[in-house]
Amino acid sequence: MSQQIFFAHANGFPSGTYGKLFAALAPEYQVTHLEQHAHDPRFPADDNWHNLVDELIHHLKQQPEPVWGVGHSFGGVLHLHAALRCPELYRGVVMLDSPVLTRADQWVIRAAKRFGFIDRLTPAGRTLGRREEFADLEAARLYFAGKTLFRGFDPECFDAYLQHGLQKVGDKLRLRFDPATEISIYRGVPHTSPGRARQLKVPLAVVRGHKSRVVMRHHASSVGRMPLGESLTMPGGHMFPLERPQDTATLLKNLFSRWEGRRQQDCA
């Protein structure tokens, strides 16, 4: 019987973009996900992402058994905060290029919000004024292909983003992930936590992209010092799950197999 993964996407990237990763995890693992976080009016984006963690927990409670929580960037932080609040819903958590923030990081974020420079600290500033509408699919393809963020994408993942990241509105194509919501998520990046990560009761791994500018070395080393934490590295940058979906799936399978073997040994 396959085990269940609950996947949470990066900000602005609907879960369908990760279809190649999900397919590579089958048949050993079945992937469940929300198509878009923060788009349910019951759980609007807010400061410190309290509502968005509530949204994730709401759906985790509907799963038949504890899950492997896997999140990319924004999604990894959601899983960490949910697991700190409700560890019984998890087998373990993997954060794909998603930082476990130190107290110093949180202090800087708090100051950035208070003094009005949070848009410079997060990608919010780059998101403001970004093109939202395209005449057709080819125009969208040319636009995104020219962006540094997408240059390393696996071709199938890039096509999946065009398919799932855009929707038809009238005779135009528009971004499916609401840009105002995306900006609100960035501006609400947590400067608080429901608990200290070192007290997490389930295994935690942070997988850093080798060229990442999001997860820094001090983030990775702090996780490696946790009793149930470990730090791993993948080739690529912040978007490595969409640059190397097959390699990412292999890493996850090996990690979960090792964790499950350790759990069974501990229970013996």
The strand pairing partners of 68, in sequence order, are: 5, 92
Mean local confidence (pLDDT), 219-225: 80
Nearest in space to 259 (alpha carbons), one of 217, 202, 201: 202
Give the pLDDT confidence of 65-87 residue by residue, as tens digits. Answer: 999 999 999 999 999 999 999 99
Model confidence at 14: pLDDT above 70: yes
The strand pairing partners of 31, in sequence order, are: 5
pLDDT at residue number 204: 97
pLDDT at residue number 190: 96
Length of the chain measured in residues: 268
pLDDT at residue number 179: 92
pTM above 0.85, yes or no: yes
Model confidence at 268: pLDDT above 70: no
Q: How far apart are CA 183 and CA 3, in angstroms?
A: 34
Mean local confidence (pLDDT), 179-187: 95
Number of structural domains (the chain) is 1
Q: How far apart are CA 153 and CA 150, in angstroms?
A: 5
pLDDT at residue number 226: 83
We report the CATH number of the domain holding residue 20 as: 3.40.50.1820
Give residue 180's identity as a one-letter amino acid code: A
Determine the structural domain holding residue 17 and report its residue range: 3-267
